[in-house]
Structure 1
Amino acid sequence: MRFRFRPVLTGATLLGLIVLVSLGTWQVRRLAWKEDLIAKVEARVDQPPVPLGEPLSMIGAGQDPEYLPVEVQGGFLTDRTAHVFGTYDGVAGWYVFQPFRPDGTDETLLVNRGFVPDEARQPTYTPPDAAAMTGLVRRFESGRGLAAAIAPPDEPAAGSYFSRRADPLYEAFADVGGTALPFYLDSTLPTALPEGGTTRIEFSNRHLGYVLTWYGLAAALLAVYLAASRAPKG
């Protein structure tokens, strides 16, 4: 088979291949990340809760304690709350954050007590009736990426926040003092308002399909290029 070199077609095809292969490779990395996340969550969420010192030790050792169940004795430092916008089961509302002081420490641990629909939002909520706080370790958001770029600005005066970044949330409770911990807890206590136990632990994984789509488009583009570059006989 003879081919005719077409500079414009070749340049456009190379550019298209670079974009499509890059998107496919990015989805390969996302696939590995999602599979690791699902495996981590499945392995951890049903474990017995551990003391607060264990996730702190894991961080000190360079390990990620996210979704590790924790039980900690102590009490809330104020009845004031920070409401972080979000959804649960398709309903718009707020996640209720409050500062918690573990017994025998000067540390401040933010606790996401759970979800309230927008129409049920209140300035304060009844403290949970439990001997200890139990929850899943969660990382704060970084404040980078598309979600952070399009999020509305926080409204500290109204106690309304639109991301789970550490600095603004801890600043909301700056008066309580203490050493800020590098993670927060999603409460697993069975409370009603706010509704506890609302951590998302089931994740869809469609990245393999995206990988095949982008790489398939790259293969199709290459086939079209080869067909269009065939030189006529004669």
Structure 2
Amino acid sequence: MEKSRFIFRSIVQSQPVRQINTSNTSTPPWVCNACLRRTPKPSTLLRGQRQHRRWQSSNSQPADSPEFKSIVDNPPQLVQANRKHNKLGLLILATIPVTAFILGCWQVQRLGWKTDLIAKFEDRLVRDPLPLPPQVDPNAIKEFDYRRVYARGKYRHDQEMLIGPRLHDGEDGYLVITPLERSEQFPEFKGDTTILVCRGWIPKDKAAQSKRPDGLPRGEVVVQGLLREPWKKNMFTPDNKPQEGKWYFPDVYQMAEHAGSQPVWIEETMRPDLLTSYDRMAKGVPIGRPAEVNLRNNHTQYIFTWFSLSLATTIMMWMVIKKPVGSSRRLRQSKEW
């Protein structure tokens, strides 16, 4: 055994040592060695660095910065503390229930006034009708508003005026205003004795006198109705056009001047009857109004509305004042997030 080991060591030491080329072993045979020895240009390196920096800037996130602080890192900051109630706001809030209460008290007074007025007019309705004098003082009509009167004379259908449009039971139509001439009944009066009579409502398709021959009485007639005070026009009603025969509002003085009569307005009345109204509508005979007071009285609703508003706003103001003024809120703020 010792002899064989000696022979193997002698053979190995007698062989020449070969040097291995590491360059050939690390480079594949298909790569050009000349290209490997070529050094890149500085411009190419700078261009690559710029592109890499540009890519990093476009794809950077806020968290990549070492100075970034998230919303969790920031401590909560006190943004409101010990804030007192605004005196001006409380003053404005306090005026709402006070104003509503005053308006409610005013509506209570209006309710009493309107109730007494309706009672006074209803008392005039139950009295016997009075004969209308030949000439009436316009200033005295207010004391006889809703007073039942009667007059005798002849209708001047050639001076008829239609006020409209007016609705009656959902139907469109007009109010027929015809002057009543009373000169034959009072021949001793040289002045004008003509008055204006509102005969009632007619449908729109009966506006032409040729379509309602039964509604144009001839000869002497007796008219019984209510003496009414002239109305006041509101700002939403258009102006009348007498030259064109268009009347939108019963302006008593303007219509009396147009017809040459006294500024006295009589509303002809009739007993309310459905069958009679249908018969008159078909024949074109004006449908008169019932002898009743038709004044609106909604002051009870207004009283409930104003007092309810006053109570509700008072409770709201009490809740605002009761809320503690030392309340504060904490909020986390971050400008970088």
If the length of structure 1 is used for normalisation, what is the TM-score? 0.77
2:299 equivalent to 1:207:
yes
Q: List per-residue Cα deviations over 1:133-177 (Å, max 9, x = no partner).
A: 11101111122xxxx21112323234221111223212321xxx4
The residue that corresponds to 2:154 in the other structure is 75
Q: Is the 8 A contact 1:55 1:65 kept in 2?
A: no
- Tell me the distance in 2 between the aligned counterparts of 1:63 and 1:17: 38
Contiguous gaps of at least 5 residues in structure 2: 1-83, 327-337
Where do residues 49-198 of structure 1 align in structure 2 (5 Å cutoff)? 49-53=129-133, 56=136, 60=140, 64-85=143-164, 86-102=166-182, 103-104=185-186, 105=189, 106-123=192-209, 125-127=215-217, 131-143=221-233, 148-173=234-259, 177-178=260-261, 180-181=262-263, 183-188=264-269, 192=280, 193-198=285-290
| Match 2:308 to one of 216, 220, 224 | 216
Q: Please state if 1:42 is matched with 2:134.
A: no
User: In structure 2, do the counterparts of structure 1 residues 120 and 21 end up closer, same or farther at CA, with 3 Å as the change threshold?
Assistant: farther
- In structure 2, do the counterparts of structure 1 residues 8 and 206 end up closer, same or farther at CA, with 3 Å as the change threshold? same
The structural deviation recorded for 1:55 is 11
Letter of the aligned partner of 2:228 in structure 1?
Answer: R
Cα distance, 1:116 vs structure 2: 0.7
Q: Which structure's residues are more often helix, by fraction?
A: 2
Residues 17, 131 of structure 1: alpha-carbon distance in 2 compared, 3 angstrom cutoff: same
Farther off after superposition, 216-225 or 185-194: 185-194
**Cα distance 1:167–1:54, how it changes in 2: closer, same or farther (>3 A)?**
closer
Please give the alpha-carbon distance, in whole angstroms, between the structure 1 residues aligned to 2:219 and 2:320: 72
Residues 28-87 of structure 1 show CA distances to partners (whole Å, capped at 9, x for unaligned) of 344234323432343232332112149958954x86211111011222345321111222
CA distance in 2, matches of 1:18, 1:207: 19
**CA radius of gyration, larger in:** 2
Q: Shift in Å at residue 11 of structure 1?
A: 2.8
TM-score using structure 2 length? 0.56
* Correspondence 1:232 to 2:324: yes
Task: Name the SS of the counterpart of 1:149 in structure 2.
Answer: coil
Ranges in structure 1 where 5+ consecutive residues have no aligned partner? none
- Partner in structure 1 of residue 91 of structure 2: 11
Give the letter for the 1:46 counterpart. V
Q: Distance in 1 between matches of 2:204 and 2:301?
A: 36
| Alpha-carbon spacing, 1:233–1:99, altered in 2? closer, same or farther (3 Å) | closer
Identity %: 26
